[in-house]
Amino acid sequence: MTLEILTSDALAPIRHGFFTRKGGASSGVFEGLNCGTGSSDQTEVVRINRERVAEAMGAPIAHLATVHQVHSPDVVVVDGPLPANRPKADAMVSNTPGVVLAILTADCQPVLFADEKTGVVGAAHAGWRGALDGILEATLDAMEGLGASRANTVAVIGPSISQTAYEVGPEFFEMFVASDPDNTRFFSGGTGDRMLFDLPSYGLHRMRSAGIGHAEWIRHCTYSDPDRFYSYRRATHANEADYGRLISTIRL
C-alpha cells in the first residue's frame, strides 16, 4: 500500500509530511506505518517503516533525526545524524540541508515549523504537559538562535486528539487555570465533573501569543479516525496492549 502523507500549503515549498498509518509493514494492533521504536512492535519492521519514511523524504535513514521524547520543554539543534543514544528532548531545530527532523505522536500535537526565508526548520512534540511547560515557545527561541525571524515563521499542527475526544478531570482543569485564568476558554462541559480539553486550540494560542507569523491546525483527529491514525487514548479505551506511533517530518 502506498504511503499517505498529509501536507499543508502554509509550509510550502519546504519539504514536509504528516504521515498517516497507511502504507506500513506492521501488523496486529500496529497495522500500518508504526514508526515507534519504543513500542513492542518488531524492531526490524519498525526499521522498514522508518526507511520508507526516509525514502519518501528523499534522505537515507541515517539522516532521519528523532529524539527520546519525554514531555519536556527541551529543544536540540541538529546539524547532522544524531547518535544512537538519542538525546532526551521534545523538539529539534536545524538549518542544515538534508537533515530530516522527525517527531512521533499518538494523540499529542506534532508541530512543524519553518522560516523559509532564512532556511530554518523545527519540529516539536507538544502534548498537554509540553505545551503547558513551553515547548512551543522554546522551539521558536531555538529557531531564532539559528537566525530565524519569529514574525516570518510558520507552524502547522498535524493530526492530534480533538476536543470532543479529550475528556479530562477537575485536577487537570485546575492546573491549567492556575497557570492562566484565561485558559478556561479551552475547556467545555463533559459528563459529571469531567471536561473536554481543546489541545490544538491551546497550542495555537501559545504560538500566536509568542508572536509567530502564522499558525494553523491541519484539523485531523487521531482518536476518531482509526483507519488513518494511531491513538494512545483509543488503544487504552479498547484495552489494547500497545499502540503505534505516527511520524511527522520536515527538512530543508
Per-domain residue ranges of the chain: 5-162+198-251
CA pair distance 108, 130, nearest whole angstrom: 9
Q: Are strands 91-94 and 75-77 parallel, antiparallel or unpaired?
A: parallel
Identity of the amino acid at 163? Q
- Topology of domain 5-162+198-251, per CATH? CNF1/YfiH-like putative cysteine hydrolases (3.60.140)
157 neighbors 218 (Cβ within 8 angstroms) = yes
Intra-chain end-to-end CA distance of the chain, in Å: 27
Q: pLDDT for 160-181, tens place per residue?
A: 999 999 999 999 999 999 999 9
Q: Which three cell numbers stand for residue 159?
A: 493530526
Q: pLDDT for 45-85, tens place per residue?
A: 999 999 999 999 999 999 999 999 999 999 999 999 888 89
Q: What pTM was estimated for this model as a whole?
A: 0.98
The residue behind cell 527532523 is: 101
Q: pLDDT for 75-86, tens place per residue?
A: 999 999 888 899
DSSP state of 79: S
